[in-house]
Amino acid sequence: MKKDSKIYIAGHRGLVGSAIVENLKSKGYTNLVYRTHQELDLTSQIEVEKFFESEKPEYVFLTAAKVGGIIANNTYRADFIYENLQIQNNIIHQSYLHGVKKLMFLGSTCIYPKNAPQPMPEDCLLTDTLEYTNEPYAIAKIAGIKMCESYNLQYGTNYISVMPTNLYGPNDNFDLEKSHVLPALIRKIHCAKLLNEGRDDEVVKDLDVKDIEEAKTYLANFGVDRSRVEIWGSGKPMREFLWSEDMADACIFLMENRNFQDTYLAKDGANTSCTPNEIKKQEIRNTHINIGTGVDISIKALAETIKDIIGFKGELYFNTDKPDGTMKKLTDVSKLHQLGWQHTVELRDGIDEMYRWYKEKSL
């Protein structure tokens, strides 16, 4: 990519998209294009086609998606599969029709089977049953991977798919009904601390409600009061977390330095001197790249770390009547390391920075 190349970031207000925008700007890229949902409905084939016809981007970061936690994924199953398929189908196909030089598609490690080997290598895709609660979302993302692979193989495009582990960072979603586990824990424990210290006005402001009684009633729905924070499950599941700005850096590194061919030749023992005709005879699959740290932590240890950083003096209660989800989800990042990138922000440092960002945003 050149510094004046026209680069379209789909989903620029999201956790990863906003980090990619800031990273590109910091590296001197000057011709960035993005639209809000009000300006461009990515589920509309007609609107996306008109956008590509008028803007003609040279590079595309496809970070836009309908996302959410366990409750949202399990409740709005039809919305998650329909909207995500529509978004990615429209953008990938229009990128092909309008000659985009390179596209990056962002998926999720929920594409892997519920009982995948740990850590999860790219090659375990489609080898077993998916986790039920987010199956529609996962199937949409698998379709996106296969769409990119198929367009590359049939049309000679240069599309790269990356599968980030659980992300967190500035501009995360802190909605208690729809957010992922880490931002939800930060907000719940933060509000519990405020209640515990009698800072009722700050609780009301944080939740944007009329008074403290409404705030307490709302928080009680999520197991939060002045002395205790409820957490779903046993606390035993292990999860991996990656700082969103690290994720953005990985994406831009790959877009600047790697191509589709690198994604299937970057394996131990691979023949990197294959001719184009030899490559065509291969079964090329699982070309996506895991993006993560290769390090995980239990939900209990995560919650205790957040409690310590925030300074909450109350109790953490693990409700074992609620589901745990998959017990372990750790990415195998050996392919990513082989391609030349490793994470830099460790979890505690990232949580500390994220909490400072959240408090400043709440002021």
pTM, two decimal places = 0.88
pLDDT beneath 70, residues of the chain = 266-281, 363
Residues whose CB falls within 8 Å of the CB of residue 277, separated by 6 or more in sequence, listed in order? none
| Crossing angle of helices 77-97 and 135-155, rounded to 10° | 10
The dotted CATH code for 181-237+297-327+349-362 is 3.90.25.10
* pLDDT of res. 268: 46
Going from N- to C-terminal start, the domains of the chain cover: 7-170+240-295+330-346, 181-237+297-327+349-362
The set of catalytic residues is: 137
DSSP symbol at 194? H
* pLDDT of res. 67: 83
Q: What is the pLDDT of residues 63-83, one digit of tens each?
A: 999 987 777 888 899 999 999
Classify the C-alpha dihedral 21-254-121-136 as positive or negative: positive
Q: Judging by beta carbons within 10 Å of its beta carbon (0-12, 13-18, 19+), is residue 278 exposed, middle or buried?
A: exposed
Q: What is the pLDDT of residues 280-327, one digit of tens each?
A: 557 899 999 999 999 999 999 999 999 999 999 999 999 999 888 778
Report the CATH architecture of 7-170+240-295+330-346. 3-Layer(aba) Sandwich (3.40)
Cα diameter, the chain: 71
Taking Cα atoms as reference points, which of 112, 79, 108, 102 lies closest to residue 148?
102
* pLDDT of res. 105: 98
* pLDDT of res. 155: 96
